[in-house]
Structure 1
Amino acid sequence: MRVPTEYNNQSSPWIDPPEVADPNTDFDDVPQSDDADSCEDDADSCEDDADSCEDDADWDNEADSEGDVRDDTSTQSHQTPRVQAEHFPISDRGVSHPVASFNDTSAFQPADVNFFSRPKHVHDTLAVGSNKTSMIVNCKDTRCAWRLYAKSGLFSSKWEIRTISGPHTCHANASRTDHAQLTAKMVADVIREDIRENVALTIKSVKGLVRKKYKGIIPKYNKLWRGRELAIAQLFGSWEKSYNLLTPLLEAIKKDNPGTKFGVAHEPTDDPTERLFKAAAWAYGPCIAAVPHLRPIISIDACFLSGRYQGRLLIACGYDAENQLLPLAFALVREESFQTWGWFMRWLRLEVIGNKFMCVVSDRHMGIKKVFTDRYGGWYEDGGECVHRLCSQHIAENLMKKVHNRKLCDLFKILCNKKKPRRFEEFFEILRKKNPDAVAVAYLNNVGKYQDINHNEIPKPWKVYQCMDNGARWGIMTINGSESLNNVFKFSRRLPVVVLVEDTYYKCLAWFRDREGKAMARLASQQLWSERVEKLLAKRIKKCLEMNSMPLGVHGEHEVKVNDERVVYKERDGNFTYKKETFRYKVIISNGNIAQCACLKPQLTGIPCTHVLAVCRERRYNHNIFVNHLYSAKTLAETWSGQFHGYANQCEWPRYDGITIVPESNKIKKGRRKHARIVMTMDEMQGRRVGHQARCSTSDRRAAEASASRNQGQQARHSVSDIYTAGTSSAYSRR
């Protein structure tokens, strides 16, 4: 506490104190009033007390019992008083220690904030000696002359300051720059509107806003953090109650948006009126209605919830004719495992996908891989219900951990995207020569297996390489689309779960509104295909003018001769040298609208290659009949034609009389929350830095340097002469 610099050393009138706080209450979290009227004098309510007429001898007696009285005149000259105040905080005498009740410093608003710096730690500043009837407070600084003496009334539960020796002549500790009345609630009041505009407001920014409003105060990190949490709870609701609002919110959305589906899973607790949250999944009606117009491929991924409670957000995405993402379904689960993935994928099959055959692209998480071996989950791969493919980016990342060679991993990514079998074999041979110890080749041979160490399981390269895929991927090699949605919901993932659900709703609404307008404009301009396919066809039509084709028989077989096609001659440090040769490709036209080519591009993507276009030019076929209808502008417009409708306010939601759903208490995160994306090996591969975390560890850097020096030594001993010796060769390879 800071005390006034002047006092007439007479008995003060009784003052009605502020309400006594609970001794077990954390004062930083208790909302306190800034109104100083609670400390004003109220002479009419005072009563006379026999002890109020005691003379100054009482003070001397008490001082002798506690120690030597300091010479006021010798110490007051050390420091010129900086603060003056007219009121004193007089507190009701409660069950707590008398000094502990002196937490309201509202009367000292003009005082030096450097003195009133420590929240609730009064004893750190004052040396106390007191009992139930009297109180003596000394400054802990032995060089300071300040002392206070107070007595309790006989007929009232109030304290009266009898004597105060004078102003403080000491200096507050330089590190004590906090304020007792600057509670977490006051911090929340300061930053609430800024949090509304930017929920990702950092603690550093919160600190700047508070210091801008309250000059000279530097609040502690813990108080700022709790203030931000309180502001978020005031704006968006509490984390705990939001779990119980999931069902009413989804019911309200479903009521106004026909076709919307959702499901909430919970388990019993010891309290029969409460259920423990397990998982929740939802999909909006327009997204479900778009499934027939999408290519039969989805990508799935999971990301962390970065709010108070641990959990994962699962996302399933489709792709339209422009390769734009369309979120099909979302799920909130407690963890990423076979049980949670199995529950979500089963719900996705029943409520969203239906019986449509699908290709699913994902990473190599064991929980996901096990879903496709479950006979009763709706995604049994061996039963022909779907096919499962692996993300090439995640495989390249795992390969980087094994070989620590970025150029080798870049070569693998080029290899994965090759469609022509001949080109695939060329680059695979280069990769084999650049890795003489065969670590990379051994890993890639086993990466498609359910268990890498199972030697009895046959290799499954079609899960990795596009040229062996049979067209199930439709050209989608990674789950970067789902990964990008993780960044879209980066901020809402740190908020209560109902806010996350609302964010998914409004993001989908905005995407449908924007993309429907563009698709309808393209359809109105009488464009036949999506913009991406139109550009690709224009490029290939121009290229096919240099090719010659001739029929081979009456069964629709044609041969296309390509002059000066590039062939890899040599590779050095990631740079390729090519030579030109002549190749012939076999094209088969069947049923009038089905085209097959030895380059495999029409079979893999549904878009005719240059060789098919060369046949169309020679035979005067309409090349548009060979493009899959899922790329048409009409299909694109139908994909985004669904309409979202606003749902009612919370007071108008359907009445919910169900059980209370609560989160799992042991899922509360401990320590400082991590909101930034975890830096992974792919960041090192691509040479990018992510914030302040992107520096690789010393051990990783040393391992990479050792591997690089080892590779340089091997390259010095082995000459790289990857000369493709074949002259004019045929490209009749397997399909």
Structure 2
Amino acid sequence: MVCGSSYQQECIQSLLGEDEDEDDVDYGRDEYEEMIGRDDFHEDTINYENVDNIMDDHDDDVVDDQDNIGDGIGVQPDTTTVPTYEAQGPSFHANTWDNIVDPSNVDIPFSSSWVRGMNFSKGLIFPNKEAVKQAIIVYSMDNNKNYITELSNQKRLCVKCANESCAWKVRAFPQRKLNGLWAVTVYGGPHTCPSVGVNKDGRMMDSNFLAKELHTYVLADHTSKIKDLQNLMKERFKHDISYYKIWDAKQKAIANIHGNWEESYQKLQKLLLAYKDSDPGTQVSFRSINGNIPGTIIFKYVFWAFAPSIAGFAHCRPLISIDGTHLYGKYKGKLLIAMATDAKNEIFPLAFAIVDDETGASWEWFLSCLRTAIKDVVLDSSICIISDRHRGIISSIAQWPNDYVPVYHRYCIRHVASNFNTQFNDKFLKSLALKAGYAHQDRKLEKILDCLKEAELKFSKDPNPNIAKKKSYSYLIKEDLEKWTPSHDGGHRYGAMTTNMSECFNGVLKGARGLPISAMVDYIWCKLVAYFNDRRTKILGDIEHGQEFSKHAMDLYEANYKKGTRHYVRPFNQQNGVYQVCTPHNPHRSDGGDHSHEVRLLENTCTCGKWEIYKIPCSHVIAVCIREHVNAMRYIDPCYTLQQRLATYSHEFCVPKDKSLWR
């Protein structure tokens, strides 16, 4: 993760120091595989025949150019570090539309006069040297022939058959008369050598060649699996290619499309500041340290939250799920994500950060940046944060500033149960822990905890010490009940028991987490632009159809309404809104039904706990409203209205400035 003034200088010096004849390798065997085969990673000395006779009379047609830059045909990393800019591939946009274009006005660039299946011949025209090389490799693989490169630089490419008894050769040069297009000026062929003994193991294909072949596929879908690309290349060239070589080729294809990883870190700050310049509400923060090379810096952390996400959070429930996930590109690290949920209970991406690792320091920095980003949109409410029990998160939230809005930290019940099972390795005990974590009422929670207590007592008497130490009740009860049970939560969770909202978005970003960092940020930007636009359109359609509340709220309300019609209501104090609600006997339920609950309409409470948890009337409240001829929908929290949901996505993403105007 290095950037800075010296990095570019080092790259330039590296390029200028390359041997112009670096392509002089035997294509009969991959250079790296040769070294691996003989367990030798020292510098090879390859003797080539004298090529003085190649410097023939073609110089008259050669375009003047510098002769000192190699073209990197071997398996060594591709040194082309400044790719041609290409628009994002289709995978960058969740909702794509057909692009209908009049092809009559499209300028089609020159490709090549050679097509697969043809023999080479004098006079064939190619757009550039790379196209000549690609054609030679494809031709050689199709015909099971080996060749060696005699000379390769910016003025000429000369290859010949690896079999000394065969006269096959191809020489190509750039032609001034053809505006620099490359032409085959010397051809000796066809091959007269046998194809016996040539292995179809992809040795003639290096990762640079494969990167060009994979370019179109990776541009269309950068999430393509290596195995799928491996099968694709085998079907195309009839050669078995190693998994690593395809992986390396995919990384180079990604770098050719999106810029390489080093340049991507250099571009990152400019890209994020361009987003901020287009909408000043966007929050961006960097933390860097000085690199070992003078004049360079190393990005340690970077945080960003787009303005539409910040503005939209004001209309979401004050609930945030945070999680971290691995990056798996050239540079490892972690992507930290903060997610909210909208009125329909759909994920709402709020903020992101890239850090070196999940530590107390990185989580503290992330949460500090998050507080700064949303400080103006949560003035009148508290915030509930759901996470796993990472020590860094627990420590950071414990240090929450007193002068900020209150924060309530809650644990993901799935992680609690997973840690519980790691401790005791007992599926039955794990199921009890999960039931305890989902219990809405103290009565139900106490019943489950009693089962765990009895199990612990029984295990303690077992002669097997591994069983006797299963103190499952003691393990759970030492955790603050408010952090992992809805019955003691106080309604801050809004019924959200896991970090699924963050993890779902991790799945959306799975392919992007292997992209260069700037491309990944651009990918997230494009996803959110499409996501916001799509949501607005659908919400407006729902409002036009007369809907008032989100489908999530109405599904829960209607299920409760159906139950409420079967309850019996006894008023205790109508003036103060106090009622007893009795549920009928239900032999199909584990508890048999036949329960009594107290509803206090003026205080928005019911002893079942669900009204306080979900902020949607439970069946007991609805039963009271039916008796009193009151519309129970008036008690649905406004956070579930479609108007609130529309406001969540009303802040539009702004088109960023052209790259020439970036600071």
TM-score, normalising length: structure 1: 0.62
Partner of 1:647: 656
Q: Quick check: 1:584 aligned with 2:596? A: yes
Q: Quick check: 1:349 aligned with 2:371? A: yes
In 2, distance between residues paired with 1:476 and 1:110? 60
Q: Deviations over 1:34-89 (max 9, x none)?
A: xxxxxxxxxxxxxxxxxxxxxxxxxxxxxxxxxxxxxxxxxxxxxxxxxx9999xx
In 1, distance between residues paired with 2:613 and 2:544? 30
Partner of 1:412: 433
Map residues 331-342 of structure 1 onto 2, 5 A cutoff: 331-342=353-364
Corresponding letter in the other structure for 1:235:
I
> Structure 2 residue aligned with 1:638, among 647, 652, 663?
647
Q: Is the 8 A contact 2:329 2:515 kept in 1?
A: yes
Tell me the CA shift for residue 632 of structure 1.
1.6
Partner of 1:385: 406
Tell me the CA shift for residue 584 of structure 1.
2.4
Aligned CA distance change for structure 1 residues 501 and 563 (closer, same or farther; 3 Å): closer
Partner of 2:35: none
Q: Quick check: 1:190 aligned with 2:213? A: yes
Tell me the CA shift for residue 502 of structure 1.
1.1
Map residues 499-510 of structure 1 onto 2, 5 A cutoff: 499-510=519-530
In 2, distance between residues paired with 1:427 and 1:335? 38
> Structure 2 residue aligned with 1:605, among 609, 614, 622?
614
Partner of 2:488: 468
Map residues 66-77 of structure 1 onto 2, 5 A cutoff: none
| Helix, strand or coil at the partner of 1:509 | helix
- Unaligned 5+ segments in structure 2 are 1-25, 29-49, 59-65, 80-118, 123-132, 151-161, 168-191, 460-469
Aligned CA distance change for structure 1 residues 494 and 111 (closer, same or farther; 3 Å): closer
Q: Deviations over 1:528-551 (max 9, x none)?
A: 322222222222223222223233
Aligned CA distance change for structure 1 residues 427 and 22 (closer, same or farther; 3 Å): same
In 2, distance between residues paired with 1:540 and 1:25? 68
Q: Deviations over 1:93-124 (max 9, x none)?
A: xxxxxxxxxx999699669965638999xxxx
The worse-fitting range, judged by mean Cα deviation, of 358-367 and 413-422 is: 413-422
> Structure 2 residue aligned with 1:319, among 341, 352, 359?
341
Tell me the CA shift for residue 21 of structure 1.
9.9
Aligned CA distance change for structure 1 residues 221 and 115 (closer, same or farther; 3 Å): farther
In 2, distance between residues paired with 1:338 and 1:378? 21
Q: Deviations over 1:281-334 (max 9, x none)?
A: 111111111122111111000000010001111110111111111011011111
Map residues 112-127 of structure 1 onto 2, 5 A cutoff: 116=146
Q: Is the 8 A contact 2:336 2:354 kept in 1?
A: yes
Aligned CA distance change for structure 1 residues 13 and 525 (closer, same or farther; 3 Å): closer
Map residues 206-221 of structure 1 onto 2, 5 A cutoff: 206-215=229-238, 217-221=239-243
Q: Is the 8 A contact 2:572 2:580 kept in 1?
A: no
Q: Is the 8 A contact 1:2 1:111 kept in 2?
A: no
The worse-fitting range, judged by mean Cα deviation, of 490-499 and 263-272 is: 263-272
| Helix, strand or coil at the partner of 2:399 | coil
Map residues 507-586 of structure 1 onto 2, 5 A cutoff: 507-553=527-573, 556-566=576-586, 578=590, 580=592, 582-586=594-598
In 2, distance between residues paired with 1:471 and 1:580? 27
In 2, distance between residues paired with 1:305 and 1:527? 41
Tell me the CA shift for residue 604 of structure 1.
1.9
Q: Is the 8 A contact 1:118 1:179 kept in 2?
A: no
> Structure 2 residue aligned with 1:361, among 382, 386, 399?
386
Corresponding letter in the other structure for 1:116:
N
In 2, distance between residues paired with 1:505 and 1:525? 31
| Helix, strand or coil at the partner of 1:427 | helix
Corresponding letter in the other structure for 2:471:
V
Rg: which structure is higher? 1
Corresponding letter in the other structure for 2:372:
L
In 1, distance between residues paired with 2:429 and 2:646? 42
CA RMSD across the alignment: 3.9
Q: Is the 8 A contact 1:301 1:482 kept in 2?
A: yes
Work out the number of aligned pairs and report it: 512
| Helix, strand or coil at the partner of 1:580 | coil
Q: Is the 8 A contact 1:248 1:653 kept in 2?
A: no
The worse-fitting range, judged by mean Cα deviation, of 16-25 and 410-419 is: 16-25
In 1, distance between residues paired with 2:193 and 2:391? 68
Q: Is the 8 A contact 2:207 2:246 kept in 1?
A: yes
Q: Is the 8 A contact 1:557 1:586 kept in 2?
A: no
Aligned CA distance change for structure 1 residues 429 and 237 (closer, same or farther; 3 Å): same
Partner of 2:475: 443
Q: Quick check: 1:28 aligned with 2:28? A: no
Tell me the CA shift for residue 213 of structure 1.
4.4
In 2, distance between residues paired with 1:523 and 1:254? 32
The worse-fitting range, judged by mean Cα deviation, of 577-586 and 240-249 is: 577-586
In 1, distance between residues paired with 2:242 and 2:596? 74
Tell me the CA shift for residue 558 of structure 1.
2.5
Partner of 2:419: 398
Tell me the CA shift for residue 275 of structure 1.
1.4
Aligned CA distance change for structure 1 residues 190 and 409 (closer, same or farther; 3 Å): same
Q: Deviations over 1:231-252 (max 9, x none)?
A: 1111011101111111111122
Tell me the CA shift for residue 210 of structure 1.
3.5
Aligned CA distance change for structure 1 residues 338 and 581 (closer, same or farther; 3 Å): closer
TM-score, normalising length: structure 2: 0.69
Partner of 1:699: none
Aligned CA distance change for structure 1 residues 21 and 116 (closer, same or farther; 3 Å): farther
Q: Quick check: 1:304 aligned with 2:336? A: no
> Structure 1 residue aligned with 2:287, among 241, 257, 265?
265
> Structure 2 residue aligned with 1:485, among 479, 488, 505?
505
Corresponding letter in the other structure for 1:373:
A
Corresponding letter in the other structure for 1:440:
S
In 2, distance between residues paired with 1:532 and 1:169? 70
Partner of 2:266: 244
In 2, distance between residues paired with 1:107 and 1:621? 79
Q: Is the 8 A contact 1:357 1:385 kept in 2?
A: yes
Tell me the CA shift for residue 496 of structure 1.
0.4
In 1, distance between residues paired with 2:321 and 2:299? 26
Q: Deviations over 1:596-654 (max 9, x none)?
A: 1111222222122222222222233332332221112221221122212332343x332
In 1, distance between residues paired with 2:636 and 2:228? 54
> Structure 2 residue aligned with 1:289, among 311, 335, 339?
311
| Helix, strand or coil at the partner of 1:564 | coil
Identity of aligned residues (%): 26
Aligned CA distance change for structure 1 residues 235 and 378 (closer, same or farther; 3 Å): farther
| Helix, strand or coil at the partner of 2:287 | strand
Corresponding letter in the other structure for 1:601:
K
Corresponding letter in the other structure for 2:74:
F
Partner of 1:623: 632
Partner of 1:700: none
Q: Is the 8 A contact 1:563 1:582 kept in 2?
A: yes
In 2, distance between residues paired with 1:197 and 1:85? 31
In 1, distance between residues paired with 2:613 and 2:363? 29
Tell me the CA shift for residue 499 of structure 1.
1.1
Tell me the CA shift for residue 272 of structure 1.
4.6
Map residues 17-166 of structure 1 onto 2, 5 A cutoff: 27-29=74-76, 116=146
